[in-house]
Chain A
Amino acid sequence: MITVEKLKKNSAKTPADEAKKSDKYYYASQWSLMLRKFRKHKLAMVSTYILLFFYIIVIFGNFFAPQGTEQYDGKYVNCGPTPVHLFHEGKLVGPFVYGLKSERDPETFMNTFVEDTEQIYRLRFFTQGEAGGEYKILGLIPCNLHFFEAEEGGKVFLFGTDNMGRDLFSRVILGGQISLFIPVVGMLLTLVLGLFMGSLAGYFGGWIDTVIQRMVEVVRSFPQVPLWMALSAAIPKTMKPAQIFMLMTVILSLVSWPDLSRVVRSKFISVKKEDYIMAARISGAPAHKVVIRHMIPSFTSYIIVNMTMSIPSLIIGETTLSFLGLGLRSPATSWGVLLQETNALETIMFYGWKLIPMIFVFVTVLAFNFMGDGLRDAADPYK
């Protein structure tokens, strides 16, 4: 009986629905077809949401970070993460942190912090706190609103502090501003370079192609890290962080354009032979119209895929440079700068929380890779 009813229900639903569905499919442009396919890639969708979340947090970083980049507290050096509690002695208090007591380990004589369960500091949200300091929303509107803060006298370090008593949670967020945006800006520069060189090579062919391909091979055969190092060693130490930021994007894109230019070139060459390109020429389309109306649209999706896939290597690049001390320097911060502190054995032994920025690098790179994977599967909906 149930199956019969089910069938009835299904058949009652199908004809109109199906027609609507297929109609939508027939009128779907390339981009909506791509979106349909991309949505089916679960991992890519999850990654996209994770990345969106990261970027939103980072864009409004000063709001979400309880401290600014320049604040530190000498009393709380190398303090571990302070857990946020909800219950005190079985009673619901709402989110709060305990006070911190400094103790010396009798064996190692190391300073450690333990929770002082006598003191309770509630977390307050949307505070106009001076603790976090003033900042400008998107660099424009001055503001001192912060997402959360502990009550007067309390300290909340979600990810612990570093060896200068700076809140790691804030620094991860503010470092993310650099680490997540250098790759994007660098990628845009890469795109311009790669598109230009690739289309020159692919469209004209001949000796232009040969010259550009040899250049690509030369750049690609350099070991990346030493090349980055050589280039960034040329950055004067006295430069402002913003200038260093710009130069770093240039350095990264100078090393990464060859891959994109190869994709563009090969697409140009393969598309040139498509029947519909010849059809357009026979119908009298001038060369530039053929390129703009038919050739470039046919591989924009591939370029987007390639761009997404190239971001991880740029993130790693920035992290590597900063880790090696060749990129940004404190107090300016990025995930690579934060990881500089981890190059001592004691960090791994005693201050495990300082490795937290690595998790973010890891998750971001993975997410970009998965998203790129999904985009690649969706890139050509006609195959």
Chain B
Amino acid sequence: MEKNVILEIKNLSKVYESKGASVKALTDVSLTVNQGETVGIVGESGCGKTTLGRCVVRGIDATSGQVLFHTEDDGVIDFLQTTKAQMKKYRKDIQMIFQDPYASLDPRMTVFDIISEPLRYNSNLSKREIEEAVGKIAEQVGLNKAYLRRYPHAFSGGQRQRIGIARSLILQPKIIVCDEAVSALDVSIQAQIINLLEDLQKEYNLTYLFISHALSVVRHISDRVLVMYLGKVVEFGETDALFANPMHPYTKALLSAAPQPDPDAVIDRVVLEGEVPNPAAPPSGCHFHPRCAYKTARCAKEAPPLVEHGDRMVACWNCGCCSEAD
């Protein structure tokens, strides 16, 4: 399959300023996403996953950097610096599914109004056409059409997430940012929603940015995985390769912390020392060095760039040291 780049994120940074302190939620995050693939974004809470997702959809404004969107007619637009007309045209191409199916639906609107809202801002469809479109999408995500006149409080978490998915799909976007889209759900419901997302991806050739802390889910759904630590990308590569052979010490620790379903499996758990540093005052050099078992003098002084190592990108001065140790 030929890879068509659909989204390029270049040096995206987000700094939260408050009195006396600035918190770098994202520092120079770069990645490319190909059409039709799923890129998983993992990391522990507070590492900037959600901020990344929200900056991409312009839910919040990034401080600097570019989000280059490759349009169908081979044009490239910077999603963060569009004109009003461009925004109107391309906003619908990047949509989002939210983490909390309870907070992300306006409780005062009927399900029909919630799902059809994006259409009303982005198209000139008649009432009848809107009704048809909503009915079609509702069926596709597995919602009973009879339920459309109900209010969100009538639904369970899984059904609500289906409503959220229907809302994000109704504009027929190219890219969907799934921000912890299944984390708030029961495991059995998670499986249903993941299957639904996969089916929809096949049908519409969707591209997913799948943000999650659940490694097993990410491993299952992603083609490639991006690992973040304290606002920076530490490793980015093909899912299978990355899970089989993590090249960054943090990735290794993160993966080893994931629960194993097999009770007899021998887990070689890497236990990290210390805590996640305060993002308002990150450590010098490599942000990970105070907790790293393989650190050298250089790590404390200079921040390692994200460079290609074989089949993936890694940001580590001593890349591969941890995998060699195995």
A-side residues, CB < 8 A to B, are: 25-30, 33, 274-276, 278-286, 289, 294, 297-298, 381-382
Contacts and interface: CB of A to CB of B under 8 A. Distances in A.
A30 B107 contact: yes
B314 to A, nearest CB: 32
A279 B108 contact: no
A155 B227 CA distance: 92
Looking at A276, A278, A281, the one whose CB has the most chain B CB atoms below 10 A away is: A276
A29 B151 contact: yes
Contacts of B58: 282
Interface residues of B, number: 31
A274 B103 contact: yes
Contacts of A29: 108, 151
Given A279-B164, A284-B88, 13 more contacts: A25-B154, A26-B154, A29-B108, A30-B108, A275-B98, A275-B99, A275-B103, A276-B104, A279-B96, A283-B121, A283-B171, A284-B92, A284-B122
Contacts of A279: 96, 98, 104-105, 164, 167
Contact of A289 (B59, B95, B121, B167): B121
Contacts of B118: 283-284
A207 to B, nearest CB: 14
A26 B106 contact: no
A289 B117 CA distance: 11
Contacts of A25: 154
B95 A282 contact: yes
A275 B149 CA distance: 22
Interface string B78-120: 0000000000100110011011100111111000000001100
B202 interface: no
Contacts of A27: 149-151, 154
A278 B56 CA distance: 13
Contacts, number: 70
Nearest to A283: B118
Contacts of B99: 275
A275 B59 CA distance: 10
Nearest to A274: B103
Contacts of A276: 103-106
* 7 A-B pairs with the lowest CB-CB distances in the bound complex, closest first: A26-B154, A283-B118, A275-B104, A284-B121, A275-B103, A276-B106, A26-B150
B213 interface: no
19 contacts: A26-B150, A27-B149, A27-B150, A27-B154, A28-B151, A29-B151, A275-B100, A275-B103, A275-B104, A276-B104, A279-B105, A282-B59, A283-B171, A284-B118, A286-B121, A289-B121, A294-B106, A298-B108, A382-B153
A232 B280 CA distance: 54
B57 interface: yes
Interface in B135-161: 147, 149-151, 153-154
B54 interface: yes
Given A275-B100, A275-B104, A281 B59 contact: yes
Looking at B103, B104, B105, B151, the one whose CB has the most chain A CB atoms below 10 A away is: B151
Looking at B59, B107, B149, the one whose CB has the most chain A CB atoms below 10 A away is: B107
Given A27-B151, A29-B108, A283-B95, A278 B121 contact: no
Contacts of A298: 106, 108
B100 to A, nearest CB: 6
Contacts of B122: 283-284
A291 to B, nearest CB: 13
Nearest to B100: A275
A234 B100 CA distance: 56
B117 A280 contact: yes
A301 to B, nearest CB: 10
B57 A26 contact: no
A278 B99 CA distance: 12
B121 A382 contact: no
B84 to A, nearest CB: 10
Nearest to A29: B151
Contacts of B108: 29-30, 297-298
Given A25-B154, A289-B121, A280 B149 contact: no
Nearest to B177: A282
Looking at A33, A274, A279, the one whose CB has the most chain B CB atoms below 10 A away is: A279
B151 A26 contact: yes
Contacts of B98: 275, 278-279
Contacts of A283: 95, 117-118, 121-122, 167, 171
Contacts of B104: 275-276, 278-279
A381 B153 CA distance: 10
Looking at B59, B92, B108, B164, the one whose CB has the most chain A CB atoms below 10 A away is: B108
